[in-house]
Structure 1
Amino acid sequence: MPSPTIVLVHGAFADAASWAPVTRLLLDRGHTVIAPPLYMRSLAADAASLRALVEHIDGPVLLAGHSYGGAVITIAGEAANVVGLVYVSGYALDTGETISKLQGGFPDSELIANLVFTPFPIPGQEDGSDVSVKIDAFPHIFAAGLDPRVSEVLAVSQRPLAASVFAEEASAAAWKTKPAWGIVSADDHTINPDVERFGYTRAGIADVTELKAPHLVMQTNPQDVVDVIERAVGGSGGAQG
């Protein structure tokens, strides 16, 4: 099998640039990489958009999802040409499960008490509600381990997630039929690390890497993340770059 295209899927409060250090290392190693945007108004819509992108790629695809991106790849990973899933500090939902339900089985992370809700218009309907992280709390909760000057910029340029996403049920769980790998960020203040551990264990993921790292592990430990992705490339049947 040819080496898969690696699709890097970002999470909430961030964009594809959150993967930049990993993207650079993968490109330097000869991999084909795509880091698409999510629109973060609907889990179903994000999954459908990602699946449409994946299905237009010629050849096998390896999906790597960070945080909320984990929930998205769980659904989009049903695409026939997806050969593996890599969860990076991510939500490995089950079919019919919501992010709120998965998180609800564990103590809240620091994120929950530091969210801001802002209305946004939906034509012909009631306003929606965007969720973001309090700017002064963002560096510690979401961007710990980064240069403070960088985390301050990220705090004021974060991309919000529609509050309704937390209550959307996953329509599929691709880990039931596709091989998967997982990274736990043991120092995560955004997602309780036990949420990550539970999801990976339930999914039967044998290759789980636990790092003493914060939520943005792709920024603080890019080589560790690349190592897992390259193991997934090899484990999914592709030749490494």
Structure 2
Amino acid sequence: MGAAAVLVHGLYHRPGHFAPVAAALRAEGIEVAVPELHRGSLAADTAAVQAAVDALEEPAVLLGHSYGGSVITGVRGALHLVYLAAFVPDAGESAAALGGASSRLREAIVPGPDGTTSLHPGRAVDALYGDCPGPLAAWAVGLLRPQAPGCGRGVPEHRSWKRTPSTYVVCARDRAVDPALQRTLAARCTHAREWPTGHSPFVSRPALVVALVRELLTGSGVAARRAEEAGGDTADR
């Protein structure tokens, strides 16, 4: 296809959460990078993703989920930015300043003795994977890891969405990041659409994510539109 995709996870998550999406894209001959964050700060996480983008031989669609939106905002050189239920910070803004986690997600956070936090498994299912079958939600929760403090308060050095084409995906049944906040942030992007999913469609509905990335790489919207229509009403802007 002559292009690539970089998938950027959010807080508490790992590259493994994108495994179904990454496998499907690679099966189509698309080069995929899924960098590990958890580097201790937004600046360090951004540097890791920038390195992944720079290492690719082809231009990449860069997808950031939740906190991953703050990360991709600071990365240069993407073909297209995708904000999946993600934060789109402007000058001086952080994910936390934009509204951060919902009360449901905050209630799931468990402080650790070393300053890190983790998520209570049962409450994490409710907040992050409420639209997933039980075994699938259990798999996703099992991949979650403790999170170092402070990343959500980081402010990106650059704001790539101001010069790079972007698409925002609102997850209308999200229990972790308020869909109303998502719609406000979507107005900052070039395009927006809405999916009838919870916070983590790369787990619950990976075909939607695969179709969107494919659409952006090929310029054809047919596959993504069909996948969205199969899941319910959508709205583009």
Quick check: TM above 0.5? yes
TM-score, normalised by the number of residues in structure 2: 0.85
Q: Counterparts of 2:69 and 2:214 in 1: how far apart (Å)?
A: 18
Q: Counterparts of 1:193 and 1:40 in 2: how far apart (Å)?
A: 28
Aligned equivalent of 1:110, options 104, 110, 119:
104
Which residue does 2:176 correspond to in 1? Answer: 190
Which structure 2 residues correspond to residues 14-93 of structure 1 after superposition, within 5 A? Answer: 14-76=13-75, 78=76, 80=77, 82-93=78-89
Segments of 5+ residues of structure 1 without an aligned counterpart are: 121-128, 237-241
Indicate if the aligned counterparts of 2:33 and 2:52 stay in contact, CA closer than 8 A: no
Matched, 1:145 2:131: yes
Give the aligned residue type for 2:119.
V
Q: Could you say if the C-alpha distance between residues 142 and 204 of structure 1 is closer, same or farther in structure 2, counting changes exceeding 3 Å?
A: closer
Deviates more, 1:85-94 or 1:145-154: 145-154
Which residue does 2:235 correspond to in 1? Answer: none
Q: Counterparts of 2:102 and 2:65 in 1: how far apart (Å)?
A: 19
Cα-to-partner distance string for 1:135-161 (whole Å, 9 max, x where unaligned):
221111112222323423433441222
Q: Counterparts of 2:153 and 2:147 in 1: how far apart (Å)?
A: 12
Which residue does 2:232 correspond to in 1? Answer: none
Which residue does 2:4 correspond to in 1? Answer: 5
Cα-to-partner distance string for 1:173-209 (whole Å, 9 max, x where unaligned):
11001001121111111111122221121x2322x22
Q: Counterparts of 1:69 and 1:217 in 2: how far apart (Å)?
A: 14
Tell me the percent identity: 29
Higher relative contact order (CA 8 A, sep 6+): 1
TM-score, normalised by the number of residues in structure 1: 0.83
Q: Counterparts of 1:116 and 1:102 in 2: how far apart (Å)?
A: 22
Indicate if the aligned counterparts of 1:4 and 1:61 stay in contact, CA closer than 8 A: yes
RMSD: 2.1
- Please report how far the alpha carbon of residue 16 of structure 1 lies from its aligned counterpart in structure 2 after TM superposition: 1.0
Segments of 5+ residues of structure 2 without an aligned counterpart are: 221-237
Q: Could you say if the C-alpha distance between residues 146 and 40 of structure 1 is closer, same or farther in structure 2, counting changes exceeding 3 Å?
A: farther
